[in-house]
Amino acid sequence: MRITDIREKAVSLADPMSNAGISYLQMTASAVAIDIDAGEKGTITGYGFSSVGRYAQSGLIEERFAPRLRVVEDMTGADGGLDPVRGWAAMMANEKPGGDGDRAGAVGVLDMSLWDAAAKIEGVPLWRLLSERYNEDKAHDRVPVYATGGHYYPDGDLTALTDEIKGYLDQGYETIKIKCGQHGLDDDCARIEAVLALLDNNGARLAVDVNCMCSTSDETQAMADAYAPYGLAWIEEPGHPHDFELLTGLTAYYDGAIATGENLFSMSETYNLMRYGGLRADKDLIQVDPALSYGVVEYANIVRLAEAGDWPRSQMVPHAGHLLAFHTVAGLQLGAHEIAARPDFLLGGLQAGVEISGGAATLPETPGIGFETHEQLWAVLADL
């Protein structure tokens, strides 16, 4: 088996939404297709689509990583199937350790395409292939999910926020995450209280993402004091992703759960977070995103690393809500899958045929990742 073609294009994710850190008006993502000569099975095309929030990686893909993949002579693994590990090793040749950054997302979206192709060649959904190769054939029966929304909009107000969240509850979600941190703690508390009123005032059903708004321990403590009475499911990304001193101070001060890791991109960065971040394996959540962190090959090692450090898989909750993360959570039996719940967002929802009820999703049976059955994503991937 060998790669016969790789195609990439940048796709606009432009949207009026914003969080405490960034606007999405200029946001882009990479869409990728990789053709595999699969012998008797003909040409199989695997697709990938970047995670959200870190822009397209067209230059890195076209100049550096796709050329390394194109010259791999044989992608066949020991079991006779397509082995994405071979592609991963070729892409990472002559790459120094560290400095993961955008490179990890470029490799990640190519790795995603290889896994899509590998599962299609086997004729199984990706979650099943991942459970076979990395989890002793075990998988979730139903995938725990939560809905992410509640961004800021130019004309947004509390009524618009609660209308949006009502829509998610109607779709079958039980736990919701909203954005805070853009307009100060009084505004945050008003947003939290408005949404809690829809959730039986049960803070365990509401998470709050502040997108790195805090820079000092005075700020993290003021935030913790303001949020603590609500008993939130978790507070997400309190400060800069590399500020472990700030994070350690917060976890010593605040009893509730903290979630972080979406802006760390490798096993070594995850190791540092676990070793030096002051996180508590019985309550805090690690949100490293496989699509931004060199793909499934690296992420499977991150899960092994976590378990070696006594972090249960229940505490691994990948960022972003893309379909790769859904299959990874299902096949590796991780804690939960985040879903970008706004149906009109390009990356929104899951593939057709997956049903959500009681805060969990059914497993898809479409071979591969299932981009072909996700209406919005297929609309941009089909012409690749």
Rounded Cα–Cα distance for residues 8 and 34 (Å): 9
DSSP-derived 3-state class of residue 219: helix
Which positions from 228 through 287 interact with Mg ion, judged by CB under 5 A?
Answer: 236
Q: Degrees (nearest 5) of the Cα angle 57, 366, 62?
A: 15
Least Å from the CB of residue 83 to Mg ion? 32
Which residues inside 46-65 make contact with Mg ion, applying CB under 5 A?
none
C-beta of 68: minimal distance to Mg ion in Å? 31
Instruction: Please report, for residues 223, 241, 254, 295, 341, the alpha-carbon distance to residue 17 in angstroms, rounded to integers and kept in the order given.
Output: 23, 22, 30, 27, 13
By CB under 5 A, residue 209 contacts Mg ion: yes
Which region among 59-67, 133-141, 208-216, 329-337 touches Mg ion (by CB under 5 A)? 208-216
Q: 3-state DSSP call for residue 208?
A: strand
Residue nearer to Mg ion on the CB measure, 219 or 236: 236
Q: How far is the CB of 315 from Mg ion (least distance, A)?
A: 16
Closest by CA position to 331, among listed 370, 372, 295, 363: 363
Please report, as residue ranges, which positions from 72 to 131 form the binding site for Mg ion (by CB under 5 A). Answer: none
Contact 2, 73 (CB under 8 A): yes
DSSP type of residue 214:
B
C-beta of 314: minimal distance to Mg ion in Å? 19
Number of residues that bind Mg ion (CB under 5 A): 2
Nearer to Mg ion, 164 or 236 (CB): 236
- Contacting range for Mg ion; rule: CB under 5 A; set: 25-33, 44-52, 199-207, 209-217: 209-217
- Identify which range of 98-106, 207-215, 296-304, 335-343 contacts Mg ion by CB under 5 A: 207-215
**Does residue 327 carry a catalytic annotation?**
no
- Is residue 298 close enough to count as binding Mg ion by CB under 5 A? no
With residues binned 3-state (H G I as helix, E B as strand, rest as coil), the percentages for the chain, rounded to 5, are: 40, 20, 40
Place of tokens 């059955």: 373
**DSSP collapsed to 3 states, 134-182:** HCCCCCCCCEEEEEECCCECCCCCHHHHHHHHHHHHHCCCCCEEEECCC
Of 120, 177, 179, 374, the catalytic one is: 179
**Residues 165-204, mask of contacts with Mg ion (x by CB under 5 A):** ----------------------------------------
Nearer to Mg ion, 111 or 236 (CB): 236
Catalytic annotation on 179? yes
In a 13 Å sphere around the CA of 321, the CA atoms on its Cβ side amount to 22
Nearer of residues 116 and 209 to Mg ion, judged by Cβ: 209
CA–CA distance, 166 with 209 (Å, rounded to integer): 19
State which residue, 4 or 215, has the beta carbon closest to Mg ion.
215
Give me the least distance between CB of 150 and Mg ion, in Å please: 12
- Residue nearest Mg ion, Cβ-based: 209
Residue 4 C-beta: closest distance to Mg ion, Å: 38
CB of 20 to Mg ion, least distance (A): 10
Return the range that interacts with Mg ion (CB under 5 A); candidates 54-62, 72-80, 205-213, 365-373: 205-213
338 lies in the site for Mg ion, by CB under 5 A:
no
| Beta carbon nearer to Mg ion, 174 or 209 | 209
* Beta carbon nearer to Mg ion, 150 or 349: 150
Catalytic, out of 120, 140, 177, 319: 319
d(CA 313, CA 371): 26
Q: Which amino acid is at 343?
A: P
Token pair in block for residue 220: 């993290």
Query: What does the DSSP assignment read for 28-83?
Result: EEEEEEEEEE-GGG-EEEEEEEPPTTS---HHHIIIIIHHHHHT-S--B-TTSSB-
Q: Which residue, chain included where needed, has tokens 């010259």? A: 71
Nearer to Mg ion, 39 or 153 (CB): 153
What Rg, from alpha-carbon coordinates, does the chain have?
A: 20
**Cβ at position 162, least distance to Mg ion in Å:** 21
Binding site for Mg ion (CB under 5 A): 209, 236
Positions marked catalytic: 179, 319
